Copies of this chain bind each other. A is one copy, B any other.
Amino acid sequence: MPSPRKSPPPDPQIPVARRAIVRAGAAVAASTLLGAWLRPLVAQTERVPLPDAVDLRRLVAANRILAHENVVDAFGHVSIRDPRNAQRYVLARSRSPELIELDDLMEFELDGTPLDARGRTPYGERMIHGAVYEARPDVHAVVHNHSYAVLPFTIGEQALQPMIHMAAVIGAQVPVWDIRDDFGNTDMLVRRMDQGRSLAAALGTNTCVLMRGHGAVVAARNVKEAVMIAFYLQVNAQVQLQALGLGTAKPLSAAEVELSSATQFSPLALDRAWEYFCVRAGVEPV
């Protein structure tokens, strides 16, 4: 029989702060998240020239939600345009969305130059965000993800289409961009502004664009909508894939997409979803 799993007293040689890294199990997670949210925001905003604290906390929440709903894994990111300066955006340092806290947020110029790095390393693909903000003044939040359910539509023969009313928010057309078309063989990442601009051109006036063998980009008016779109893009992909297994499948009409999308973005639906997503992810519905 296996020996029992013992819990010896903590090693006094390991500092307390280091022990706190370990987030094993719900109880620890709860207190950690709670702690993160209760951390004074005043000091934070004094130190860094960042937008209003509510926007920042909402961006942190978006990171946690996308991770909790498996829209992102170790990779993927979400940003907001700085509401005080349209030529800047806020995005986390290079870290998995599930772990993002307020201190991880950085501000960037549209060309990707960090404004206050303080030793923090930015995401290599932040040009996606800058290029979309540059091309689309109407966009104030961007998600980039590698959702496993969406990926088959980036390499398969069938176009992803809105099939269910909740996913009308993805828009009537979802183009696929292939980095190889303009840039030949690469490491697949959008590392430069010219690559980001090519991607933004493929996005056009749509809400979502797929990236061949890579993932998706969502461009939205605000971060709540961005989360909802990214989530239902994933649900729609799963539903469409299964429906195609039954034969042909009937998509929403263009008019239904427009009308349903407006309804999904109404406060009645959007706030209901936001509260739900936040509570599930263990963050305050700010």
Contacts and interface: CB of A to CB of B under 8 A. Distances in A.
Interface of A: 1-11, 13-14, 17-40, 73-75, 94-96, 98-99, 101, 103, 121, 124, 146, 148-149, 151-158, 163-166, 168, 180, 185-189, 212-214, 235, 238-239, 241-253, 255-256, 259-260, 262-263, 268-269, 271-273, 275-277, 279-285
A14 B38 contact: yes
Given A22-B284, A35-B6, A268-B124, A247 B156 contact: yes
A112 to B, nearest CB: 15
A213 B232 CA distance: 13
A247 B25 contact: no
A259 B185 contact: yes
Given A20-B6, A180-B253, A98 B279 contact: yes
B268 A121 contact: yes
Q: List 3 tightest A-B contacts by C-beta distance, closest first.
A: A24-B282, A25-B30, A25-B26
B25 A282 contact: yes
Nearest to A247: B157
A148 to B, nearest CB: 6
